[in-house]
Amino acid sequence: MDDTEMAAALAGCVSCPYPGTWQGSPFAERTVGGVRYGVVALDPGLSALGVRRADGSLWGLPEEGVPHLVNSGVEAFVAFTRAYEEAAAEADAYAGPDEDGEEEEELTERAADALTDALLERFAALDAEAVADENSFWCVAAEELGYGMGG
């Protein structure tokens, strides 16, 4: 996949929970540990998202630190972003229970956990390697989405 094709595929991913700015084609090159990446999104001074040129996988590239897998490919990243958008819409639409007090908090927490678990299950079906580590980009994004419900 060349830069133009990647840019077209990633064009709809602006709602991805990455705080950086999406870059245009042709993508700037970044080499980390002898591995070449095309930088598709950038949060200056903190990190970048890069597509590994050798295999098309998408990686988080911290300014200081070791690259970490985000998705096994651009197509998987697009699918994850769509799944995340759908879950975010569901979280936004959550009206909460009718009860007040501690029971309301407990019901909201259960709904948030169910949303997070369902999203992680969907992610695992799409690209299991991307969510194999509970501290991965998408696992953290799913948890944070659940934390934001009802609050």
Question: Does 58 share its domain with 81?
Answer: no
Question: Does 85 share its domain with 37?
Answer: no
pLDDT tens-place string over residues 69-121:
999 999 999 999 999 999 999 988 887 766 666 777 888 889 999 999 999 99
Question: Does 46 share its domain with 57?
Answer: yes
Question: Does 107 share its domain with 46?
Answer: no
Question: Does 53 share its domain with 27?
Answer: yes
Question: Does 45 share its domain with 105?
Answer: no
Question: Does 66 share its domain with 78?
Answer: no
Q: In Å, how far are 1, 46, 99, 117 from 131, measured between CA atoms?
A: 24, 22, 35, 12
What is the number of other CB atoms lying within 10 angstroms of the CB of residue 64? 7
Q: Is the pTM of this model over 0.75?
A: yes
Question: Does 78 share its domain with 110?
Answer: yes
Inter-residue contact 10 to 78 (CB < 8 Å): yes
Residue 150 — very low, low, confident or very high, per pLDDT cuts 50/70/90? low
Domain count along the chain: 2
Q: Domain ends where: 27, 52, 71? A: 71
Q: Domain ends where: 15, 44, 71? A: 71
pLDDT tens-place string over residues 3-29:
998 999 898 888 899 999 999 999 999
Q: Domain ends where: 50, 71, 92? A: 71
| pLDDT score, position 50 | 98
- Whose tokens are 């994004």? That residue is 141
pLDDT greater than 80 at residue 46? yes
Question: Does 54 share its domain with 115?
Answer: no
| pLDDT score, position 59 | 98
Residue 20 structural domain: 3-71
